[in-house]
Structure 1
Amino acid sequence: MARMHTRRRGSSGSDKPAADEPPEWSDVDSDDIESRVVELAEQGYEPSQIGMKLRDEGVTGTPIPDVKLATGKKIGEILEENDATADIPEDLRNLMERAIGLREHIRENPQDYQNKRALQNTESKVRRLADYYRGDELEPDFSYNYETAKELLEK
């Protein structure tokens, strides 16, 4: 399948190894893992960053290679159960940050046509993703524009 805004195809990446149970060397209690996930979320980490921190640092010094194998729940499910989810979904937040950065760059460099096109593509993705999340995770009357995105990300 081709990319959204180019005609190229993506390069293939690596897949996670198929595993049904966590490795023997990672024998941390699932309650400890869940409390660590909530603790990291309260410190301001996004779900993808939480997964990397657990992989690298672990809980009490023991790395957690896969939270879902260890606990039976994904990081997002753990955060929902403990009411620790963010106001804006992580993917939408990252795209809005990129769009704001591109708009500020274009304000300083008005002749940068490649980044004008990149801004159009990024804002298109933001609007499409906002349609997807509207009602469930966003307010029903949410609509993207630069000012509202700037206000949301300042919080």
Structure 2
Amino acid sequence: MYSKDAWVYVTPNQGFHTMEDVEEGFDRLSKAKATKSFGFLTMTSYTFLATVLMTQNQKLLPIDELVRFNENLQVLEELNVEGESWAVLQSYQTLEKILYLMRVFMHQRPEYLESSTGTVDTLLALFPPSKRPIFVYPSSTTAEPGSETFVDEFSDE
């Protein structure tokens, strides 16, 4: 009923299990970039990052793969947010979810924080100034692996 590309959006996300899964995720990102659709790339990036967070074996995702993901996100800067107002709103909501997941992942993998500041700045700059969310990076006390306290400093105020 669904194409393999759509399959990722309608099945439960259980994370990446093999390097082939990771490469399939990057293939989906490449296809989304090729469409030059801001909305499609944000949704595909969100799905990829959610899959990263669900991945049990983090050895499948060395820092160079995470940097590769960030490079894919940077392409959003070159695309125009177009479409009906509801589609534009949905794209920005998805972009905000990406930023939230990036922050969650920074708590889990502090080395990701070090390689992501430029990407976060790029993504925040995509929002209109009056709608730009505030992004507070995890501090060293909240970014330690195994920390029981999750401080959610990401707000829209």
The TM-score normalised by the length of structure 2 is: 0.28
Larger of the two Rg values belongs to structure = 1
Which one has a larger percent helix, Structure 1 or Structure 2?
A: 2
Structure scoring higher RCO (CA < 8 A, sep ≥ 6) equals 2
The TM-score normalised by the length of structure 1 is: 0.28
